[in-house]
Amino acid sequence: MTINRRGLLGAGAALGLLSACGSNTGRDEGGSGDGPKLSQWYHQYGEQGTEQAVKRYATAYKKANVTVQWRPGNYDEQTAAALLTDSGPDVFEVNGPSLDQIQGKQVADLTELFDGVKDDFNPAVLAPKTYDGKIWGIPQVIDMQMLYYRKSLLTDAGVQPPKTLDELVDAAKKLTTKETKGLFLGNDGGAGVLGGTPLHAAGLELVTADGKVGFDDPAAARALGKIHQLYADKSLLLGAPADWSDPSAFVQGLTAMQWSGLWALPTVQKELGDDFGVLPFPKDGAAGKPSVPVGAYAAAVSTRSKHQKAGKDYLKWLWIDSTDRQEDFALAYGFHIPARISLAKKAEKLRKGAAADAVRYTTDHGHAEPLLWTPAARSAYQDALSRIIKDGASPDGELKKVVRKVSAELGRVKKKS
């Protein structure tokens, strides 16, 4: 690692004195093993204890000297920049890896690590880590999103938990009062977090199996139009201090329903007890089906690393062999579904109540963003979705433009392979 601690400390006597007063000198980063030095990066998790846990894992590994770096803020930007240089991580967590990172040979092929256990990984989250028949990242845990609703508020308003998108629009409208909004899809009205979820609910896909645009269909415009309806009805909560990923708005009673992640479940349970339920994103139209977005951060090895072999060994040890640690990581701090099917089945915490519902939705309706859905495609789609929702732009016209852009992008990445 390139850290120059001495340089920092030697810069002045006052500095040394004052730093002794600090409660944290950052020396508890693991790194007790022998062998090559590996630097491992994680993005900052909000759940208490996660940081200590991953450092504990690193310390427990004896065949390499692993140092954990816990990175706050703009993680994607930091890793993307660091991967261009020799000062980046050896092994790192990534919300991907992206197709361009794979095609640009920035991450190493990890296929051989999966020998004999490949089928134990949830196929929905393993698929986007696979390209060209090879696997480029080990899924760590599954994150899924779903709709939380407040039972008592629905009963008071005489509303059933919505089973279709139309019912959701109706319910949200009925639940909206002066103090409380019907539904919270994020401060941007849902353009960011929903992504392809409404399209899946309408029975479509972002990218088809043969690499074509999957939503060039009138059903797409119809479904997205209904999200605009939610906005136009003023049923959506907008501008909450904490965004959709944080259950604050829901538990504070700012909204009767909220789209959020499974990770929010412990807080919601603690604050509301039994007074809530969870649902998948409701289906739309005859061909529709409920839709649940899933995703997984993956552990990857940088090809810039001088110790690729050691890095792979370490990742195999942590994310393939050490099932106890995987279980600990998934369930002891936040609330995630283990990426390993065998572990998910075993998990006591996931067997009852809302958690069991969430697991069932994930198995039945889970869909991950495909690898071919590149950042450029995503931002074009997200811009269009925002204009449809907030500006009331014509879904047909906006989607046509997106289809054109995404087709071009798909052509670009195909040419490269």
- Verify binding: residue 318, other proteins, rule CB under 8 A: no
Residues 6+ apart with CB under 8 A from 309: none
Window 255 to 294, contacts with other proteins (CB under 8 A): 261, 263-264
Compute the distance between CA of residue 365 and CA of residue 57 in angstroms, rounded to an integer. Answer: 33
Sign of torsion, CA 220 228 395 190?
A: negative
Residue among 57 and 373 whose Cβ is closer to other proteins = 373
Residue among 142 and 264 whose Cβ is closer to other proteins = 264
Cβ neighbours of 390 (radius 10 Å) = 17
Among positions 60, 157, 254, 347, the unique one binding other proteins when judged by CB under 8 A: 254
Choices 113-121, 129-137, 241-249, 354-362; region in contact with other proteins by CB under 8 A? 241-249
- Verify binding: residue 72, other proteins, rule CB under 8 A: yes
For helices 353-365 and 265-272, what crossing angle results, to 10°? 150
Q: How far is the CB of 405 from other proteins (least distance, A)?
A: 9
Among positions 122, 145, 187, 305, the unique one binding other proteins when judged by CB under 8 A: 187
Backbone angles phi, psi at 2, to 5 degrees: -100, 15
Among positions 36, 128, 189, 214, the unique one binding other proteins when judged by CB under 8 A: 189
338 upstream amide cis, omega within 30 of 0: no
Choices 53-61, 84-92, 114-122, 208-216; region in contact with other proteins by CB under 8 A? 84-92
Compute the distance between CA of residue 295 and CA of residue 335 in angstroms, rounded to an integer. Answer: 14
- Verify binding: residue 87, other proteins, rule CB under 8 A: yes
What does the per-residue mask of binding to other proteins show for 148-177, with x meaning CB under 8 A?
------------------------------
Sign of torsion, CA 332 338 340 346?
A: positive
Window 101 to 140, contacts with other proteins (CB under 8 A): 101, 103-104, 106
Residue among 270 and 351 whose Cβ is closer to other proteins = 270
Q: How far is the CB of 115 from other proteins (least distance, A)?
A: 29
Q: Answer whether 43's CB lies under 8 Å from 75's CB.
A: yes
Both structure tokens of 364: 């039945």
Among positions 34, 115, 179, 348, the unique one binding other proteins when judged by CB under 8 A: 179
Residue among 71 and 289 whose Cβ is closer to other proteins = 71
Compute the distance between CA of residue 198 and CA of residue 282 in angstroms, rounded to an integer. Answer: 8
Window 11 to 40, contacts with other proteins (CB under 8 A): 11-12, 15, 18-19, 21-26, 29
Window 331 to 350, contacts with other proteins (CB under 8 A): 334
Q: How far is the CB of 119 from other proteins (least distance, A)?
A: 29
DSSP string, 155-175: HHHT-PPP-BHHHHHHHHHHH
Q: Which of 296, 256, 263, 37 is nearest to 161 (CA)?
A: 256
Window 352 to 381, contacts with other proteins (CB under 8 A): 374-376, 378-380
- Verify binding: residue 142, other proteins, rule CB under 8 A: no
Residue among 208 and 382 whose Cβ is closer to other proteins = 382
Beta strands, E only, 288-351: 292-295, 298-301, 337-338
What does the per-residue mask of binding to other proteins show for 377-416, with x meaning CB under 8 A?
-xxx-xx--xx--xxx--------x---------------
Compute the distance between CA of residue 57 and CA of residue 233 in angstroms, rounded to an integer. Answer: 50
Determine how β-strand 292-295 pairs with β-strand 141-149: antiparallel
Number of residues forming the site for other proteins (CB under 8 A): 89
